[in-house]
C-alpha cells in the first residue's frame, strides 16, 4: 500500500516559500523576509512534531452482518476501533476494501459514535477477500504535516454466487418434487409409513388392518414402507477449454454458470431431492441433504471454483444407479461434444450451455437432453430447458 509523504502539499509549499524568502532577503537586503522564512520553517517543524511524535496504538475488530455475502447483496460492517493515545486525534478513517466489494468505507474521525464505525458493502465478485486494515489519517491544524497509520489485521469476507429463484420441474418428467415421488422399500416390520396389502400365509394376526379389511372385504395386513428421498445430480463443467478466460480473471459466462449451479442445486433441494454437486472431473463440490450447513458448504466451495483441467465421462460420475434429474452446466460445446453426453437413463436430463455451437442442442436432444442456452438470465434459461417446454420435433425450445 502506498505510503503518504510526511508533508502535505501545503507543507511543501511552506518550505519552498521559506527558501524563496531567504533568497529574497539576501538579494533585497530585507531582514523581514528572513524572519518570515524562519517562521515558516518553525511552523512546519512544530506541525511534524505534533503529528508524528505522539505514540498511538490500538486494536480493530470487525463484524459483518452476513457470514456469506451473496453477489449483489448488501451487508453492514461494524468496526470497533480501540485507539490508545494521549488524546483522540481529529482526522479521517478509511477501511481498505478489495475490488470484489464496493462501499463507502471512509469518513471523518472520530465519528458520531466515537470510535465505533459502521458502513455498508455490496458484493461484486465471488471469492474470499480480505477487508482491512483500517487507516487513520491525521493532519495538523495548519495543514502542513500528515500521518497515515494502519491499525488492526484484515478480516476475510466470503462472497458466494447469486442465487436465482427458479421454476419448478414439471411432473411429467417423473417428479413434481422429490418428496412427491419417493422410493419405497418393503420391510414387513417397522413403524414408518403404513399401507395395507392382502394377507398371505404366515402373516401375524396382530398385523391385520381391520379398517382396510372391512372396506375391501378381503383380509388385509399392514405393510410398512421406508421412504428414501430420490437423488439429483448437478454437474458444473470446469474443463478449461470450455471457457474463454480460463485462468485470466473473471469470465461473465463462467460466473453465470456458477450461479446456475448454486441456484439449481438449492432449488432441487427445495423440491425434496437429495442433491450432489460435482465438477466435471468428479470432485464433490457439495452434498445437500436439507441441512443449513450443507448449503453453506456448497456456497463456499462455489465461491472459490475456477475453470481448470479436463473432464470425465458423465456416466462415470454416477455413484450406482442413474439419479432422477441430472443437470449439466457447461460452456463452449460443439455438436461432437454433445453427441458424447450420455446421461445413462436419468429421468430428467437437463443441459445448460453458455456457448453452444450450431447443431449442439439438436445433437443433445437426440440423446434425450432438454437443453437451452445459458446467458445472464439464469431463470429464463432454466425455464427454457425444462422438459415440459421441450417441443416434440427438435427436442428444444425454438429460440
The rounded distance, in Å, linking the Cα atoms of 325 and 303 is 24
Residues 275 and 191 both lie in one domain: no
Same domain, 251 and 357: yes
Q: Are strands 127-131 and 74-84 parallel, antiparallel or unpaired?
A: unpaired
Averaged over 265-271, what is the pLDDT? 93
What pLDDT score was predicted for residue 311? 84
The answer on 235 and 196 residing in a single domain is no
Query: For 322-373, how does the pLDDT look when each residue is reduced to its tens digit (9 = 90+)?
Result: 668 999 999 999 999 888 888 878 888 999 999 999 999 999 999 999 999 9
- Count how many domains the chain has: 4
Tell me the per-residue pLDDT of 278-289, one tens digit each, with 9 for 90 and over.
999 899 999 998
32 and 66 together in one domain: no
The answer to the question of residue 126 being in a domain is yes
Residue with C-alpha cell 372391512? 214
Do 249 and 329 belong to one domain? yes
Q: Specify whether 79 is located in the same domain as 111.
A: yes
User: Is there a domain that residue 167 lies in?
Assistant: no
Instruction: Specify whether 42 is located in the same domain as 76.
Output: no
Asked if residue 375 and residue 236 are part of one domain, the reply reads yes
Instruction: Classify residue 125 as left (phi > 0), alpha (psi -120 to 50) or beta.
Output: beta
Give yes or no: residues 219 and 134 share one domain: no
Of 304, 353, 277, give the one whose Cα is nearest residue 125.
304
Q: Which of 23-32, 151-160, 390-399 has the lowest mean pLDDT?
A: 390-399
Task: With a cut of 70, say whether residue 135 has pLDDT above it.
Answer: yes
What pLDDT is stored for residue 172 in this prediction? 43
Confidence of residue 205 (pLDDT cuts 50, 70, 90): low
Please write down the long-range contacts of 363-366, taking CB distance under 8 Å and 24 or more positions apart.
Answer: 363/335, 363/336, 363/338, 363/339, 364/338, 364/395, 364/396, 365/390, 365/394, 365/395, 365/396, 366/339, 366/395
For the beta sheet containing 274-279, the strands, ordered from the edge strand earlier in sequence to the opposite edge, are 284-288, 274-279, 231-236, 325-333, 348-356, 370-373
pLDDT of 394 > 70? The answer is no
Quick: pLDDT tens for 99-132. 999 999 999 888 777 778 999 999 999 999 999 8
Regarding whether 128 and 47 lie in a shared domain, the answer is no
**Of the residues 228, 253, 280, which one is the last residue of a structural domain?**
228
Mean pLDDT (the chain, rounded)? 83
98 occurs within a structural domain: yes
Average pLDDT over residues 30-54: 93
Determine, yes or no, domain membership for 171. Answer: no
Determine which of 111-115, 136-140, 296-300, 353-357 has the lowest per-residue pLDDT on average. Answer: 111-115
pLDDT in the model for residue 67: 82
Say how far apart CA 317 and CA 381 lie, in whole Å: 24
Which neighbouring-strand residues pair with 84? 57
Whether residue 219 is found in the same domain as residue 246 = no
> Does 399 have pLDDT greater than 80?
no
Poorest-pLDDT segment among 35-49, 183-197, 298-312: 183-197
Question: And the C-alpha cell for 70?
Answer: 451473496
Q: Percentage of the chain with pLDDT > 90?
A: 53
* CATH code, domain carrying 309: 3.40.50.410
Domain interval for residue 22: 9-52
Average pLDDT over residues 195-219: 72
Q: Are the C-beta atoms of 81 and 117 separated by less than 8 Å? A: yes
Res. 206 pLDDT band, cuts 50 70 90: low
Amino acid at each position: 500500500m502506498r505510503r503518504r509523504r510526511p508533508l502535505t502539499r501545503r507543507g511543501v509549499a511552506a518550505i519552498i516559500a521559506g527558501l524563496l524568502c531567504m533568497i529574497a532577503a539576501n538579494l533585497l537586503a530585507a531582514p523581514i523576509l528572513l524572519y518570515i522564512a524562519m517562521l515558516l520553517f518553525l511552523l512546519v517543524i512544530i506541525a511534524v512534531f505534533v503529528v508524528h511524535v505522539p505514540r498511538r496504538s490500538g486494536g480493530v475488530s470487525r463484524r459483518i452482518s452476513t457470514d456469506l455475502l451473496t453477489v449483489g447483496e448488501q451487508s453492514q460492517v461494524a468496526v470497533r476501533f480501540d485507539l490508545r493515545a494521549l488524546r483522540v486525534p481529529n482526522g479521517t478513517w478509511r477501511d481498505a476494501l478489495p475490488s470484489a466489494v464496493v462501499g463507502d468505507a471512509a469518513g471523518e474521525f472520530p465519528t458520531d459514535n466515537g470510535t465505533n464505525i459502521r458502513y455498508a458493502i455490496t458484493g461484486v465478485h465471488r471469492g474470499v477477500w480480505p477487508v482491512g486494515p483500517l487507516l487513520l489519517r491525521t493532519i495538523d491544524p495548519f495543514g502542513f504535516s500528515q500521518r497515515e497509520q494502519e491499525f488492526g489485521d484484515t478480516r476475510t469476507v466470503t462472497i458466494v454466487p447469486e442465487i436465482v429463484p427458479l421454476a419448478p420441474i414439471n411432473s411429467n418428467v417423473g417428479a413434481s418434487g422429490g418428496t412427491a415421488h419417493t422410493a419405497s422399500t418393503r420391510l414387513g416390520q417397522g413403524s414408518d409409513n403404513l399401507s395395507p396389502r392382502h394377507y398371505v400365509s404366515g402373516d401375524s394376526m396382530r398385523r391385520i388392518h381391520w379398517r382396510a379389511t372391512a372396506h375391501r372385504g378381503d383380509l388385509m395386513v399392514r405393510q410398512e414402507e421406508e421412504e428414501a428421498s430420490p437423488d439429483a445430480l448437478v454437474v458444473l463443467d470446469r474443463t478449461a477449454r470450455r471457457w474463454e478466460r480460463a485462468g485470466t480473471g473473471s469470465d461473465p459466462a463462467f460466473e453465470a454458470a456458477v450461479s446456475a449451479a448454486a441456484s439449481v442445486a438449492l432449488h432441487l433441494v427445495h423440491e425434496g431431492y437429495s442433491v450432489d454437486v460435482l465438477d466435471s472431473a468428479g470432485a464433490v463440490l457439495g452434498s445437500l441433504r436439507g441441512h443449513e450447513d450443507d448449503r453453506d458448504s456448497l456456497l463456499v466451495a462455489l465461491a472459490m471454483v475456477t475453470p481448470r483441467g479436463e473432464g470425465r465421462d458423465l456416466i462415470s460420475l454416477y455413484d450406482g444407479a442413474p439419479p432422477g434429474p441430472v443437470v449439466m452446466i457447461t460452456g463452449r460445446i460443439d455438436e461432437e461434444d454433445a453427441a458424447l453426453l450420455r446421461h445413462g437413463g436419468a429421468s430428467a436430463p437437463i443441459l445448460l450451455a453458455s456457448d453452444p455451437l450450431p447443431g449442439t442442442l439438436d445433437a443433445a436432444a437426440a440423446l434425450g437432453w432438454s437443453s437451452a442456452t445459458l446467458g445472464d438470465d439464469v431463470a429464463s434459461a432454466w425455464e427454457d430447458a425444462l422438459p415440459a417446454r421441450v417441443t416434440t420435433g427438435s427436442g428444444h425450445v425454438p429460440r
